[in-house]
Amino acid sequence: MVVLEAAGGMSQGMMQFSMLGLILVVFYFFLMRPQIKRQKELRKFQSSLKRGDRVMVAGGIYGKVAEVAETYIMVEISPNTEIKVARGNVFADAESAASK
């Protein structure tokens, strides 16, 4: 009798363990994977910036890329006015950001 109860308890423990595993898999596919995909697309966008692209930087400032360096980008926000922005702070191209 004791052996049967121990075996029954073990299957319930396996059931709880499998439910935890299922929750982790769902968490990965619904939360983490889309975020990783967005980050990869953002890095690709930031590395492909070129002079003349219209962008939105952190803080919601819109402008046109005037110069591209390895670690920073010069963004023209109005005629004869440029700001130096870290490459990682350019979040979207202005056309797609304005349409949202």
- Is 83 in contact with 61 (CB distance < 8 Å)? yes
**Where is pLDDT greater, at 94 or 20?**
20
CATH number at 78 reads 2.30.30
DSSP per residue, 17-71: HHHHHHHHHHHIIIIIHHHHHHHHHHHHHHHT--TT-EEEETTTEEEEEEEE-SS
Last residue of a domain, one of 27, 48, 69: 48
54 C-beta neighbours (distance < 10 Å), count = 17
Residues 27 and 60 grouped into a single domain: no
In tens, the pLDDT along 42-55 reads: 899 988 999 999 99
pLDDT at position 3 is 46
Residues 62 and 33 grouped into a single domain: no
The domain of 31 spans: 1-48
**Where is pLDDT greater, at 6 or 46?**
46
Residues 54 and 99 grouped into a single domain: yes
